[in-house]
Structure 1
Amino acid sequence: MHSHFPPLNAVKTFEVAARKLSFSKAADELCVTQGAVSKQIQTLEKHLEVSLFKRTATGLELTEEGRQYLPAIAEAMHLIQGATSLLQQQRHQRTLNISLSPSFSNLWLIPRLAMLQSAHPDIHLAIASSDETVRFTEGTIDAAIRCLPLSPNYENSTLLVAEQLLPIIHPSRLAAQPIEQPEDLLHHPLLLHITRPQIWTAFLNNVLGNEHRGQAPHYSTGFEHFYMSYEAIRQGQGIGLLPHFMVERELAEGELVNPLGIRYTSGYGFYLQIPAFNAQSSRIYQFKQWLEEQLRAA
């Protein structure tokens, strides 16, 4: 068998013919003649030194070698098509590759994408979600947003908003068991945040002081992300602590309730991180300005 790369046109023709199990249908998809398809298949079979198709009484079938070859070829063609489409899109659009904390993305940015596109129609985002420490390499991530302990010492980072946590409950649960004073919070299940398990203790110490020492909180299901707690709250499963700016619409419209209007400054904040190689990017500057404007309004 030849060791060098097979002819790409023949490989593409094989993928289509194998998917259709018909040279004539493959010819229609590829906009060539049936004879051209047959010739490309012969070229590939000669290169591989195996037969890929066999004709039977019921039609065209793959040989055992053809069945082995097809999955990897189909995946490779899919990757090539995806990479080509992405490159073409980025050529014609001002795409920013942004890595966001999942809750910031799900609860805040995605509902406001139409506003961003209206304000900056020439900027398009490619959004990935992660809470991991960002390691910037040129050409991969253009900027990131992470929730971090408040500090003036983060390199290439701008504080977008200091986090204030609100005890949020669904109106139906509140109606069934009213909260008239801070101690009444303990009558409801408290939804844990498993990546920051200390926040309920800090919140209760701040709001109740020593007054809750005689009554142990009833902790319920733990969730990794705020957006997961958000959904559990909407299902009436308990009280969760959520960043103020992520639930402003729901509070304004009465879909969720902060029963006592309590706000707890957590000591965390959401930071925009921009690598040094993108510091002068006009796209990043416009995106940063828009973020700051929107979060100031919150």
Structure 2
Amino acid sequence: MPGSMPPLNALRSFEVAARRLSFSRAAQELCVTQGAVSKQIQVLEQYLEQPLFDRSPAGLSLTEAGRQYLPAISRALEMIQSATASLQQGAHASDALTLNLTPSFSNLWLIPRLDQLRQAIPELKLTMVTGDGAFQFQGAQADIAIRCLPLSLSHEHSQLLKEEVLLPLISPELLREHPINQPEDLLAHPLIRHITRPQLWRQFLQQMLGGEPQPPRFNHGFEHFYMSLEAARCKLGVALVPDFMAADALAGGELVNPLDMAYRSGYGFYFLVPPYRARSVGVQRFHAWLEQQLS
């Protein structure tokens, strides 16, 4: 009927499918079946009485009508999300945010600084859950997230907090037993493996030594930086840990960075926030505090 509204589910399915140019990827984002997405698109095309997608063996593309329709629908859906979020936030007296972050960022850096955060933003109340790898807000129980990702300008809804700079850490006792007077002396110690990014040591040694004059000896492998740092504390060998996560252990003399070596890994720690949360005062103040503390 002219002048009436098309179904909201059909508009949402169109926006995601048009953005991803794939019914299957749209189904994954919306947590529905590919058939359900296809049906919603058909409902919308019938309502508009014109096709929005060209379907061919080469893939999916937008028709001229689809290209004209997408920007307005994207803005409208974002306005609905933003208005809903603002209303929900206004129903609560305090700024309560759920933060999904990597375990090492939490354990080695954020938790020891929560009292500083309380003094800076006393009204902010964080609920923290841990996760790793790629993050999607769709279906996730989180308002914001922190992730370690390859340096890129293409990460959606993200802002770089800090580039990852890795330091080799060793206990002072091990260092006294086998001093490190030049980078090659690292190889006299066992190296603690990082199992989710096994290339780190090879890349570090190539930069520091121009290759590996002798095969390195590897000790146990660990999934997270906080585990590797604890292994270094326990004198199991040399660990690679981001500089800001290592700061407390270095300042306390528990670990040492021999020769002040450092390696830029090509990764960085990103602050992720969906558009409908980006204008929240609590989110903005927390982001500013993170940037200030990590600078």
The offset of 1:232, in angstroms, is: 0.4
Structure 2 stretches of 5 or more lacking a match?
1-90
Aligned residue for 1:246? 245
Aligned residue for 1:247, secondary structure, equals helix
Aligned residue for 2:264? 265
The offset of 1:93, in angstroms, is: 3.4
Task: Give the letter for the 1:217 counterpart.
Answer: P
| Correspondence list, 1:163-202, <5 A | 163-202=164-203
Q: Distance in 1 between matches of 2:156 and 2:257?
A: 35
The offset of 1:253, in angstroms, is: 2.7
CA contact (8 A) 2:195 2:221 kept: yes
TM (normalized to structure 2)? 0.67
The offset of 1:248, in angstroms, is: 1.2
Aligned residue for 1:274? 273
Task: Give the letter for the 1:162 counterpart.
Answer: E
Aligned residue for 2:276, secondary structure, equals helix
Aligned residue for 2:216? 217
Q: Distance in 1 between matches of 2:225 and 2:157?
A: 25
Aligned residue for 2:258, secondary structure, equals coil
Aligned residue for 1:94? 95
CA contact (8 A) 1:161 1:270 kept: yes
CA contact (8 A) 1:138 1:277 kept: no
Task: Give the letter for the 1:292 counterpart.
Answer: E
Identity in percent: 51
**CA 229–119 in structure 1, closer or farther in 2 if over 3 Å, else same:** same
The offset of 1:115, in angstroms, is: 0.4
Task: Give the letter for the 1:191 counterpart.
Answer: I
Q: Distance in 1 between matches of 2:107 and 2:272?
A: 19
- Superposition misfits of 4+ residues, deviation over 2 angstroms: 90-93, 137-140
Aligned residue for 1:277, secondary structure, equals coil
Aligned residue for 2:254? 255
Q: Distance in 1 between matches of 2:236 and 2:219?
A: 8
Counterpart check, 1:108 vs 2:82: no
Counterpart check, 1:235 vs 2:234: yes
CA contact (8 A) 2:222 2:228 kept: yes
CA contact (8 A) 1:103 1:226 kept: yes
Aligned residue for 1:75? none
Q: Distance in 1 between matches of 2:94 and 2:196?
A: 37
Task: Give the letter for the 2:231 counterpart.
Answer: A
Aligned residue for 1:120? 121
Aligned residue for 1:260, secondary structure, equals helix
CA contact (8 A) 2:133 2:148 kept: no
Task: Give the letter for the 1:278 counterpart.
Answer: R
Q: Distance in 2 between matches of 1:252 and 1:285?
A: 30
CA contact (8 A) 2:160 2:268 kept: yes
Aligned residue for 2:59? none
Aligned residue for 1:161? 162
Task: Give the letter for the 1:109 counterpart.
Answer: L
Aligned residue for 2:41? none
Q: Distance in 1 between matches of 2:263 and 2:141?
A: 36
Aligned residue for 1:133, secondary structure, equals coil
The offset of 1:140, in angstroms, is: 2.6
CA contact (8 A) 1:146 1:272 kept: yes
Aligned residue for 1:166, secondary structure, equals strand
Aligned residue for 1:163, secondary structure, equals strand
Q: Distance in 2 between matches of 1:138 and 1:190?
A: 39
Q: Distance in 2 between matches of 1:183 and 1:193?
A: 20
Q: Distance in 2 between matches of 1:228 and 1:250?
A: 13
Task: Give the letter for the 1:169 counterpart.
Answer: I
Matched pairs, number: 206
Aligned residue for 2:179, secondary structure, equals coil
Structure 1 stretches of 5 or more lacking a match?
1-89
Q: Distance in 2 between matches of 1:207 and 1:134?
A: 33
TM (normalized to structure 1)? 0.67
